[in-house]
Structure 1
Amino acid sequence: MDINLERAASQINAVLQGKIRTPHVEAFFDEPTFTASYVVHDPATKAAAIIDSVLDFDQPSGRTSFKSADAMIAYVEAEGLNVEWLLETHAHADHLSAAPYLQEKLGGKLVIGAEIVTVQNVFGKIFNEGTRFARDGSQFDRLLVDGDKLMIGEIPLIALHVPGHTPADMAYIIGDAVFTGDTMFMPDYGSARADFPGGDARQLYQSVRRLMKLPDQSRVFLCHDYKAPNRDEYVWETTMLAERTGNVHVHEGVSEDDFVEMRTQRDATLSMPKLILPSIQVNMRGGRMPEPEENGVSYLKLPLNQL
């Protein structure tokens, strides 16, 4: 029996029955990285969480900027919100996190899944990080495991561990809203890749199937959209019913073996995300840059022939 999933389903049903307030979700889409970030808040208490923020990064020049994060700050301030949590669904490979900048400006505790330590160990070796790089998750304020519960004002959050895309992926169920990270995409686009170090297509299938047991009316908010064929607009919100019945990669009736075969073949054709090397180095540090060298400048490494 999956007790934590049952608790999440019960929470969603309680919202649908009017026993728990519905959280307000505001999306911010960053087209250069195809990333949807979110501000989620309790309308009554104004307590809020920020999920999967984006730090603007120009790779050719090595310059960072804060346009995307500043848009979130402006919204938070205009709505009079109190940010309690800065949530990461995983250590992203396609964009840099703006969490430390947002924390400086707005407060809140930085949170990620406890398996970030696995990611830190794997990529600590790939980037040949020395002993100054802690591999214990201490760059984050709190590490969550499956079933952990937080509160956003008076609205509960339940964390579910959904590995497969990476070992550390977490889904956050806030009221009736399900934030899946990269575990699944829009029904017409399918699923995330599972070929990064520590990824596993079979685990990904099991994680998706687990989430699909949540109530049909669950609001599902995705971390990315890339415009599926024959669709001209970016979309990042759907329902669990739409995912379960219509996801082109993993709808009802698709077996685990068939999914693994499809995902493995598809992943073999994909190039690495263009920002994977800077993103992982920063995100495994909780969104912080590597320690400056003697000249006061931080440097990102480019490991050759490793990925």
Structure 2
Amino acid sequence: MIVERALHPDWLSCTYLVAPQPNGPALLIDAGGPVAPLVRARERHGLRVVAALLTHHHHDHVAALDELREALDFEAAYAHPREAARIDRGVEALEPGRHEFDGIPVVALHTPGHTDGMLAFVVDGVAFTGDTLFKGSVGGVRAPGASGYEDLRRSVVDVLLTLPPDTRLYPGHSDPTTVREELAANPFVRVWLGREQPDGRRCRVAGEEAELVVLARDYDGGRKAWVRLGRERRDEIVPGSIVELDD
């Protein structure tokens, strides 16, 4: 299994070139760029790109789609129907389920939360998780198209982390991990599974009173927080930068 990554220097978003073997068909997972490393990897392995599979519509995951089409000589691109409509640019709707692209089998898993049409893609036992699950962190639920905390929790705990423990996970940002590693060490997952107690400190989130549940390092070196907001204790995953702890 070939997995080559291009990491955008500003967004830390990942575009992956994926192929079962050299000198055959390949897929792109997401299309944020940069382009040049992917062209070099395609040539080094003798690959022929047949399609791009897009996890969701956010700019940092689709910005280089047209440039990649030209540089890698392919046209087809697919995303969940909701995401395809938001991207447009000739992106076709792809329903969750089993698919095949020029002989490459792919399972598209619907993992809403960060966006309502987020897809994760499993190719030859390797999972590409988009912005749902990162190494040691999870996706936020305040971005455009988000469907909320409960969707995100279910997508992580009931979908992605039910894959076999040794499954390699390639997230939409930064470094890879495994199901086993995230079950053992991800702070959000540990609280969800009852292996660790919530933080419990009072805080403010953009001025709103809240209770802190988890505050953890995020993929970019900043922090991500799970908070319970207001009297109704509304759960959200938010950037740590907008969380102010009470003295």
**Which TM-score applies when normalising by structure 1?**
0.60
Deviation of 1:265 after TM superposition, in Å, equals: 5.7
Gaps of 5+ in 1: 1-22, 56-67, 121-136, 226-235, 272-307
Gaps of 5+ in 2: 199-212, 215-225, 229-233, 243-247
Deviation of 1:140 after TM superposition, in Å, equals: 3.2
Distance 1:117 1:220, change over 3 A: closer
CA distance in 2, matches of 1:117, 1:111: 7
Is 1:253 matched up with 2:210?
A: no
Q: Which amino acid aligns with 2:10?
A: P
Contact 1:163–1:170 (Cα < 8 Å) also in 2: yes
CA distance in 2, matches of 1:30, 1:141: 22
Q: Say which SS state the counterpart of residue 105 (structure 1) adopts.
A: helix
Corresponding residue for 2:220? Answer: none
Q: Which amino acid aligns with 2:153?
A: Y
Corresponding residue for 1:3? Answer: none
- The counterpart of 1:101, out of the listed 58, 61, 67, is 67
Corresponding residue for 1:202? Answer: 150
Corresponding residue for 1:115? Answer: 82
Give % identity.
27
Contact 1:112–1:140 (Cα < 8 Å) also in 2: no
Note the aligned Cα RMSD (angstroms).
2.7
Question: 1:55-107: CA deviations, max 9, x gaps?
Answer: 5xxxxxxxxxxxx2122112212321100111211112446521111112323
Question: 1:256-302: CA deviations, max 9, x gaps?
Answer: x968646946517546xxxxxxxxxxxxxxxxxxxxxxxxxxxxxxx
Contact 1:212–1:244 (Cα < 8 Å) also in 2: yes
Distance 1:264 1:43, change over 3 A: same
Is 1:180 matched up with 2:139?
A: no
Contact 2:49–2:73 (Cα < 8 Å) also in 1: yes
CA distance in 2, matches of 1:43, 1:237: 20
Q: Which amino acid aligns with 2:64?
A: A
Contact 1:176–1:218 (Cα < 8 Å) also in 2: yes
Contact 2:23–2:45 (Cα < 8 Å) also in 1: no
- The counterpart of 1:54, out of the listed 19, 29, 32, is 32
Deviation of 1:246 after TM superposition, in Å, equals: 1.7
CA distance in 2, matches of 1:89, 1:102: 16
